Amino acid sequence: MWQALRNELAPEGFELVTVGLDTLGAEGCRQFIEAAQPQHPSLIDQFHKLADAFGVINIPSSVWIDEQGMIVRPAEVAPAPPGGRRAPPRDMPGETPERLREMMQEAVKIPNDSEAYHAALRDWVEHGAASRYALSPDEVIARSRPRDANRSLGHAHFELASALELAGHHDAAIQHFREAHRLVPESWTFRRQAWSLESVDAAGPFARFWQGPKPDDPESWPYEGGWLEDVKQVGAENYNDRWKP
C-alpha cells in the first residue's frame, strides 16, 4: 500500500525511503523486502540509528524531510494508507496459539489516524512549505521525543547489546538490553527488538512475534514484560501517541 502511494506521488517529486530496524540485519528483513520488491530505497538499520538520530521509539514511524534536507515533521506514528489495513494475515494457521490470537485482538484496538495522516501527507506533497502540516524548525525540535541523560545512556546500552548479540554473547546482550529498557521505558522498538531475539519454538513461523514468556517454561523469560503483557498494562489505546496536525 505504501508502495502504491509512493508510485502515485513520485512524479510530484516525492520519494519513500523504508528502513528496517533489526539487529539481525539483512537476513532478518530479506523475506519481507523481497516479497515487496520495492522500487524505492529500502535500507537496513542494524543498530537502530533511527532511534539515535531521529528519536524513533516505535514502528511504523515516519519522518518528513523537505527538498532542502530540513525535517518538517519529526518521528511520529505512520499508519498505513486507508483501506484494507486490518485484514488478518493470510497464512495464519487454523491452530493459532492463544497468545497470538490475543495479540491480534489487542492490535486491532490500537487507535488509527490513517485518514488524517494521509490527507496531511498529500497536502504537504502538493503545497510544500505552504502546507500547514509542514512544521517550522523550532516546532520540529520541540515535537521531537524528549531525551535526557538517562535516555541517552539507554541508547548507548542498546547499541552495546546489539553488538554483543551479533558477536554471539547473548547473555551479555540481555543485560544491556535490560538497561536500555529501564532507561528508555517509552521505546517499544528497544523492547520489541530484544523480545524478538528470544526464540520460542511453540510459535513456529511467528517466533519473532511471540515476544513473551515461553508457555512451557515461563521462568526462563529474561525480560520484565512482553508485547501482550505491556500492551494490556498501558492499554492498547495508549500504544502510540495520537497523530496531531
Partner 1 sequence: MLLKSLKIPKAEFEAGTGWQLKPEGACKGDVCIPLPETPGDTVDVQAVADAMGLPLASASDHGLWALGPEAIGGRALVTAEAPDLRLPDLDGNEFALSSLRGRKVLLYAWAPY
3 binds partner 1 (CB under 8 A): no
Q: Which stretch binds partner 1 (CB under 8 A): 94-102, 107-115, 206-214, 236-244?
A: 206-214
CA 195/CA 108 separation, integer angstroms: 21
226 binds partner 1 (CB under 8 A): no
CA 189/CA 205 separation, integer angstroms: 21
Cell 538490553, residue located:
177
**DSSP label at residue 217:** B
- The three three-digit cell numbers of residue 15, written as one number: 520519494
- The three three-digit cell numbers of residue 208, written as one number: 519473532
156 binds partner 1 (CB under 8 A): yes
CA 125/CA 136 separation, integer angstroms: 16
Please identify which residue in 157, 174, 187, 231 interacts with partner 1, judged by CB under 8 A. Answer: 157
Picking from 236, 239, 205, 194, the residue whose alpha carbon sits closest to that of residue 97 is: 205
CA 140/CA 72 separation, integer angstroms: 6
Q: 3-state DSSP call for residue 44?
A: strand
170 binds partner 1 (CB under 8 A): no
Q: Which stretch binds partner 1 (CB under 8 A): 95-103, 105-113, 188-196, 212-220?
A: 188-196
H or E stretch including 195? helix 188-196
Please identify which residue in 122, 169, 178, 214 interacts with partner 1, judged by CB under 8 A. Answer: 169
- The three three-digit cell numbers of residue 226, written as one number: 512482553
**DSSP label at residue 28:** H
Which CB, 94 or 171, lies closer to partner 1? 171
Which CB, 44 or 236, lies closer to partner 1? 44
174 binds partner 1 (CB under 8 A): no
229 binds partner 1 (CB under 8 A): no
Q: Which stretch binds partner 1 (CB under 8 A): 84-92, 95-103, 158-166, 216-224?
A: 158-166
Q: Within 50-89, which residues bind partner 1 (CB under 8 A)?
A: 50, 52-56, 59-72, 74-75, 78
204 binds partner 1 (CB under 8 A): no
Q: Within 108-147, which residues bind partner 1 (CB under 8 A)?
A: 121, 124-125, 128, 137-138, 140-142, 144-147
